[in-house]
């Protein structure tokens, strides 16, 4: 899992941020240098090395004049011809952290020495030869102008970054908004994780979420900064390796991390991130807004909610608030992972239990939930087992049907009740509404006119279809009065209450 991921802290140096520098490739694109018909002999990724300055020297010991990041322009006039000395020269330039060598062929070296090429290749030092003469002064001026322009652009970009995240902080933007804005300006995925290595917010920047999160979990190296203030470390902000920005990726991340830290200080809630992340995740699942089940699975597991090889259930608590949900989830988390959210008037809890858990182990968990709800007078419902992440929304819909009718301080069970699942799937369907109107409207009208209880009597009947005695007891009526009510219900609905199909239709109508 992500908690086992091996990471290396980012070490900042005094050298300029690469985002504020040009590269060897940028220098080669300058017209003054292109005129020399440059031929890249050792390049590839080395052409992306930052160039801090251009330095002209034909001296064999030019390395001692370098400070790092210079592109050396030379004719090689003072260079040795012996292979061992050429190798030593290249090694010296590499040790001095030169960005690369641009060698103009001509009087001293009509062709490039093979020993120089091989040494540069072995060391990882860019080597470019010019087949025609160029004015090195014009080249250095052009390179320096470009570097100055890039650094000026970077300063302006830094100011825009500063303004963006300052504005977000002043508006009290939540962590998810800060992460989305960071991903937008970096053009790459961004991930915010707690100190416990659980995902708080994630922005995929148009990528496949599962692919990005799986690569991160498997050890892909992302740029990262710590989110902290006043000696408290809340987590880390990570940027995908493809991230880029004129101000520098680290500059953007540090500004975003500052905004996140200020938000945490303003919240004053140690679990603010976790609550926000859980709420966003649950709502995304209920809205079925994930592109694929794999994306949903990756988001859940990245947030510390295991899915693979687990038993998934849902719990809906009627008229819940955050404190009530905290009490409920505390009783459930003794055996599984939980995520919670308040959605409208309902509290929604996702529960991940170990595979193979027995019913005898689930019963005490739900008893604990009932005990947690007893003082509040709220009722709850345990949804049927979800068939993978794609079944979570259906489980919640079924649980909501039950929760609306749950007795205060109890947990109604939806597992093993296919009619409940069907009613959940049909919520909002006009056909179900029509069925309810057809079967229950006469009873509701009679109850309204006579302050009656026919609908509740019918509810007791379908809850105990095989025992009229139990149904009468559940309704709180004597058997004789209960039977009188049933006769009236049969007359008003023109229904045969002894028929199983009719009772099933009536129960479905009651669940609408």
Please state, as a whole number, how many other Cβ atoms lie within 10 Å of the Cβ of residue 487.
10
- The mean pLDDT of 326-334, rounded to a whole number, is 82
Classify residue 133 by its DSSP letter.
-
3-state secondary structure 15-75: CCCHHHCEEHHHHHCCHHHHCCCEEEEECHHHHHCEECEEEECCCCCHHHHCCCCEEEEEC
Does residue 145 carry a pLDDT above 70?
A: yes
pLDDT in tens, 207-248: 999 999 999 988 899 999 999 988 889 999 999 999 999 888
**What sign has the CA pseudo-torsion 64, 70, 73, 76?**
positive
Q: What share of the chain has pLDDT > 70, as a percent?
A: 93
pLDDT in tens, 122-131: 999 999 999 9
Cα(227)–Cα(225) distance, rounded to whole angstroms? 7
CA–CA distance from 230 to each of 216, 262, 272, 274 (Å)? 29, 10, 17, 20
Record the tokens describing residue 319, joined without a space. Answer: 């008229």
pLDDT in tens, 25-68: 999 999 999 999 999 999 999 999 999 999 999 999 999 999 99
Classify residue 467 by its DSSP letter.
-
Q: Are strands 100-104 and 70-74 parallel, antiparallel or unpaired?
A: parallel
- pLDDT number for residue 425: 66
- pLDDT number for residue 424: 64
Record the tokens describing residue 7, joined without a space. Answer: 């990471």
Q: What share of the chain has pLDDT > 90, as a percent?
A: 40
Cα(205)–Cα(187) distance, rounded to whole angstroms? 6
Record the tokens describing residue 398, joined without a space. Answer: 């079924």
Record the tokens describing residue 346, joined without a space. Answer: 């309902």
Among 298, 388, 380, smallest CA distance to 340 is for: 380
CB of 332 within 8 A of CB of 349?
A: yes
Strand order in the sheet with 70-74: 38-42, 126-130, 100-104, 70-74, 53-56
- pLDDT number for residue 388: 86
pLDDT in tens, 171-214: 989 999 999 999 999 999 999 998 888 888 999 999 999 999 99
- The mean pLDDT of 323-335, rounded to a whole number, is 82
CB of 337 within 8 A of CB of 352?
A: yes
Cα(190)–Cα(179) distance, rounded to whole angstroms? 6
pLDDT in tens, 404-416: 777 777 888 876 6
Q: Is the model more confident about 105 or about 498? A: 105
> What's the mean pLDDT when you consider all of the chain?
86
């Amino acid at each position: 899992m992500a908690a086992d991921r091996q990471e290396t802290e980012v070490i900042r140096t005094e050298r300029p941020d690469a985002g504020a520098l040009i590269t060897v490739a940028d220098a080669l694109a300058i017209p003054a240098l292109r005129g020399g018909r440059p031929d890249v002999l050792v390049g590839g990724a080395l052409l992306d090395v930052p160039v801090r300055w251009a330095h002209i020297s034909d001296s064999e010991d030019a390395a001692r004049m370098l400070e790092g990041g210079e592109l050396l322009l030379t004719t090689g006039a003072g260079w040795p011809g012996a292979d061992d000395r050429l190798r030593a020269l290249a090694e010296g330039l590499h040790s001095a952290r030169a960005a690369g060598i641009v060698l103009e062929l001509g009087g001293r070296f009509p062709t490039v020495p093979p020993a120089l090429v091989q040494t540069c290749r072995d060391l990882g030092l860019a080597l470019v030869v010019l087949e025609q003469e160029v004015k090195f002064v014009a080249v250095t001026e052009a390179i320096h102008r470009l570097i100055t322009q890039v650094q000026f652009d970077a300063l302006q970009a830094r100011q825009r970054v500063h303004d963006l995240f300052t504005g977000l902080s002043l508006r009290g933007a939540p962590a998810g908004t800060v992460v989305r804005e960071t991903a937008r300006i970096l053009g790459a995925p961004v991930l915010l994780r707690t100190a416990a290595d659980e995902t708080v917010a994630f922005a995929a920047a148009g990528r496949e979420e599962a692919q990005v999160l799986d690569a991160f979990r498997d050890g892909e190296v992302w740029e990262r900064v710590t989110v902290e203030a006043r000696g408290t470390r809340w987590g880390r902000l990570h940027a995908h390796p493809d991230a880029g920005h004129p101000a520098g990726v680290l500059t953007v991340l540090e500004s975003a991390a500052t905004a996140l830290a200020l938000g945490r200080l303003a919240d004053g809630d140690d679990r603010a991130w976790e609550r926000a992340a859980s709420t966003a995740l649950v709502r995304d699942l209920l809205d079925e807004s994930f592109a694929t089940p794999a994306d949903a699975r990756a988001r859940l597991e990245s947030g510390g909610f295991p899915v693979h090889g687990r038993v998934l259930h849902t719990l809906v608590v009627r008229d819940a608030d955050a404190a009530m949900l905290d009490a409920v989830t505390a009783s459930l988390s003794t055996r599984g992972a939980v995520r919670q959210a308040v959605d409208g008037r309902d509290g929604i809890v996702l529960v991940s239990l170990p595979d193979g858990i027995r019913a005898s182990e689930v019963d005490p968990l739900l008893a604990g939930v009932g005990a947690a709800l007893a003082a509040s007078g709220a009722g709850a419902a345990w949804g049927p087992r979800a068939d993978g992440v794609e079944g979570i929304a259906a489980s919640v819909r079924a649980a909501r049907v039950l929760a609306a009718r749950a007795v205060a301080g109890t947990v109604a069970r939806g597992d093993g009740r296919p009619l409940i699942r069907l009613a959940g799937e049909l919520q909002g369907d006009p056909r179900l509404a029509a069925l309810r109107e057809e079967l229950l409207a006469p009873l509701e009208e009679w109850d309204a006119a006579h302050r009656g209880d026919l609908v509740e009597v019918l509810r007791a009947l379908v809850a105990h279809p095989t025992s009229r005695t139990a149904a009468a007891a559940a309704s709180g009526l004597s058997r004789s009065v209960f039977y009188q009510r049933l006769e009236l219900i049969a007359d008003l609905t023109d229904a045969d209450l002894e028929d199983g199909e009719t009772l099933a239709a009536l129960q479905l109508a009651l669940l609408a």
